[in-house]
Amino acid sequence: MTLSVVGVTGDVRHVGLAVPPRAEIFLDSLQSPLTWPPLVLVVRAHGDAASLADTVTAAVRDANPNVPITRVSTMDEIVARSIVEPRVYAFLLGLFAPLAAGLYGLVAYTVSQRTHELGIRLALGAARGQITRLVIGQGLGLALIGTGIGVAGAGGSDTDARQPDPLSAAERSGHLWRGRPRAAHDRARRHLPAGAPRVAR
């Protein structure tokens, strides 16, 4: 089959803004022997495009009543749907970033309040590694509870956003998890040397 090039168009992002455009050709559906998937009719409008939905639908049905029309959307709606997932991630990042910072401070303060208790444990023969593991384990326990609640809430939420894959969800949960053991570990190392001698005396 011989084809004639009648024009060159710019790149088109059919899937979303994050997906690079691919090389493609446009063929006339009436002249091509290929079997076509559902077609998309694009109408350029001036003013409120949503108000023309009924007019465009009626025009298509007048031209061919056998053509089914599954959905009519404006370009603003299509773009909004394509960026739902990045918006959700940005919202969650803005929500959990200050929570993670507050979590770090809360765990650090909690450990500092237990300086004398940790010193007593050292005086009774506990190793520094055991103390560190104790503090980190308690911090991770609270983080596990919070992560479980968050995952359950995200899974049961009613949203049009595509659910993130398990790897992405685990990666984002890891950002919050890293704050707890680090806060507990740093605070424990900072206070153990000062607390133990006082208790020993």
Per-residue pLDDT of the chain in tens (201 residues, 90 and over written 9):
677 888 898 888 877 777 888 888 887 777 776 666 677 888 888 878 888 888 888 998 998 888 888 888 888 888 888 888 888 888 888 877 787 777 777 777 877 787 788 788 888 888 888 877 877 777 677 667 766 666 666 555 444 444 455 555 555 555 555 555 555 555 555 555 444 444 444
Tokens of 145: 């509870």
C-alpha–C-alpha distance, residues 131 and 119, integer Å: 9
Do both 148 and 115 map to the same domain? yes
Total number of domains in the chain? 2
User: Residue with structure tokens 């049905």?
Assistant: 61
Do both 36 and 61 map to the same domain? yes
Do both 98 and 13 map to the same domain? no
Do both 155 and 180 map to the same domain? yes
Q: Which domain, by its residues, includes 143?
A: 83-200
Do both 93 and 168 map to the same domain? yes
Are 187 and 111 in contact by the 8 Å Cβ rule? The answer is yes
Last residue of one domain, picked from the residues 54, 82, 110? 82
Do both 144 and 154 map to the same domain? yes
Last residue of one domain, picked from the residues 42, 67, 82? 82
